[in-house]
Structure 1
Amino acid sequence: MLQGDFLSCGTLSSPEIAEEVMVSFRSIEVFYWTAHLRSFSRAADRLNTTQPTISQRLRAMEELIGEPLLNRAAKPIALTSAGRTLFRHAELLLRQVAAMERDLDLSRHMEGTIRLGVSETIVQTWLATFLEQVARHFPKLDIDMTVDVTPSMMNALRDGDIDIALMLGPTILDGFTCIELKDYPLKFYAVPGLVPGNAISLRSMPSIPIITYPRNTYPYIYLRETLFRQTGRNPRIFTNSSISTIERMALDGLGVALVAEGTLSGESMKKLKTVDSDIDLKPLSFYAYFQAGVQHDTFEQLAEIAAQVAAGAP
């Protein structure tokens, strides 16, 4: 991102006046991210600076404009009328700079850190290939990665703690765009002999422990509600956020694993068998979510790389 040069805010008649009626591009950037993230501390983290520096720049802008841009008493902070006007112009300006950088193919020289959230299903399948492709297209870009469940990543996106998330969808997030990545069928897996006839049904399932994703995920919620409606009993479901732990528990014969197809290791698949079932489970659909607005082009390029890699993954 271009930084540092001054933008004129009026007609200049002398160098002294120029110092008073100019706003730096960096200050515009600081204002935009503070308003967008609604937090001084998050803006400081986003721009790799300190909170006092953020406050100082914003105070200087408010003194120049002659009225407050932010309502600091609101929790979280909110824009004033003047702030809303400036925010519209700031977003247009930053978008135009991003478009210029794209047209000049400056993205390949982009430096900085992108904060990536990713579901473990993707970690276990095609994440390594995705990171290799990102490094090829953006050799100077660093990836700060967090592996988490979808509800947590949704909150992190809204709070500005991550920039892009590869997670379950679809869902509507205000201010965010998404690109479809890949569907993964849900399958039951168990060691041979654990499940009579190697088939699991609504009638037999309450007596057989199921090992699957955490309680706030679709597989657990759907499976529990479906079985409870059909049988009137709570099924035995063990949950874990770690695919490797689910895999280990299934290998130890502690229950039947319910996970996305392709996430178990090749070595484990030599010992585990797919279990037939009459339960209609929708596939896990993964999407790339990223912010609309400033830096949209960069995030979209990363999402498109993810979609291409996912399409080529087994």
Structure 2
Amino acid sequence: MNLKFLETFVWVARLRSFSVAADKLCTTQAAVSNRIATLERDLGVRLFERDLRNVSLTPHGQRALGQAEAIVRMVNDFQRDIGDASNERGTVLIGAIDSIVYAWLPRLIERVKQTYPHVTIDLNVDTSLNLARQIQDGQVDLGLIMGPVVAPHIRNIELCSFDCLWIAASKLALKPGRLAIADLADHPIFAYSKGSQPHQAVLRVIETAGLDAGAIRVFNSNSLATITRLIRDGVGVAVLPRVVVQEFLATGELCVLDVDARLPALNFHAVFADDPGNALPALIADMAVEVASAS
């Protein structure tokens, strides 16, 4: 039995479309249809019900799916465990958020280059919300984001956590000592992109402090480089992990504020589709865990 035909069956079953599965497998819809027809003929059963709009599994197809996934995954695990890693080839689309870029992404990419010299990395830096959608849509193979992502056939592996701190320019006119949220009212707070976990956390601490919604201005940006530049110029206060601004903290240009509102830590995950035919995202995710733990 042809392993490629089993892999094709898995993707048609998951995506419920011959054409979308063809795009995923970088082949034609005719080739996908031919593979499924051959597999059905070899097994002597129909695996799919087809009409003009929908593709759905028959009872035989439902019974076959779990075993087909296990076989494809087992073969790929065998190739990974026994084969020479340096022979791995292909392109991996990695999506990462700024915090990971600042923290340890360069070390991960260097590790991938050394282990898989024939693997190409395409890098996309975006927000966690956007990358989560792209992972589910198959546009990104591996996401290094604030997770987890709860969706069918999506795996999440814990990477690391960063404490979220109140950061400002040392020259900013704030009273000395411990600060309340109300003490920040004269300055905007930059808190990642709108809808992100840290942005929502800032809104919650303002609400908990009993302040009116308009008492403190919460700005958003999906660029940590932009936020960092703005707070260095004294435009406002930011909510950031130490790793993002550690060089400016070391020079004294920026400082950590003692604010009486603690913010939850930012939890990062490696997120990827549970694809039995493509082991590279899972392998690189394991590398990311090792790199993050050593950082």
Point out the more displaced range, 157-166 or 217-226: 157-166
TM superposition score normalised by structure 2: 0.86
Conserved? CA contact 1:206–1:233, under 8 Å: no
Conserved? CA contact 1:190–1:273, under 8 Å: yes
Trace 1:189-204 onto structure 2 (pairs within 5 A).
189-198=167-176, 199-204=178-183
The residue aligned with 2:65 is 87
Return closer, same or farther for 1:204/1:153 CA change in 2, 3 Å cut-off. same
Matches of 1:32 and 1:143 in 2, distance apart? 25
Conserved? CA contact 2:46–2:58, under 8 Å: no
Trace 1:129-140 onto structure 2 (pairs within 5 A).
129-140=107-118
Which of residues 155, 174, 199 is equivalent to 2:133?
Answer: 155
Which of residues 5, 9, 22 is equivalent to 1:44?
Answer: 22
Return closer, same or farther for 1:187/1:70 CA change in 2, 3 Å cut-off. farther
C-alpha deviation, 1:30, in angstroms: 1.8
The residue aligned with 1:219 is 198
In the alignment, is residue 310 of structure 1 matched against residue 292 of structure 2? yes
Matches of 1:54 and 1:208 in 2, distance apart? 58
C-alpha deviation, 1:277, in angstroms: 1.1
Conserved? CA contact 1:37–1:160, under 8 Å: no
Which of residues 197, 206, 212 is equivalent to 1:233?
Answer: 212
TM superposition score normalised by structure 1: 0.81
Gapped regions of structure 1 (runs ≥ 5): 1-6, 8-23
C-alpha deviation, 1:254, in angstroms: 1.5
User: Aligned residues: percent identity?
Assistant: 28
What amino acid maps onto 1:222 in structure 2?
Answer: A
Trace 1:12-23 onto structure 2 (pairs within 5 A).
none
The residue aligned with 1:259 is 240
Return closer, same or farther for 1:39/1:166 CA change in 2, 3 Å cut-off. farther
C-alpha deviation, 1:224, in angstroms: 0.8
Conserved? CA contact 2:113–2:119, under 8 Å: yes
C-alpha deviation, 1:121, in angstroms: 0.5
What amino acid maps onto 1:194 in structure 2?
Answer: L
Gapped regions of structure 2 (runs ≥ 5): none
What amino acid maps onto 2:239 in structure 1?
Answer: L
Trace 1:10-159 onto structure 2 (pairs within 5 A).
24-62=2-40, 65=44, 67=46, 69-72=48-51, 77-159=55-137
Matches of 2:18 and 2:75 in 1, distance apart? 23
Matches of 2:249 and 2:284 in 1, distance apart? 32
C-alpha deviation, 1:294, in angstroms: 0.9
Matches of 1:72 and 1:31 in 2, distance apart? 17
In the alignment, is residue 292 of structure 1 matched against residue 271 of structure 2? no
C-alpha deviation, 1:66, in angstroms: 5.7
Matches of 1:115 and 1:70 in 2, distance apart? 33
C-alpha deviation, 1:221, in angstroms: 0.7
Instruction: Give 3-state SS (helix, strand or coil) of 1:276's partner.
Output: coil
Return closer, same or farther for 1:80/1:190 CA change in 2, 3 Å cut-off. same
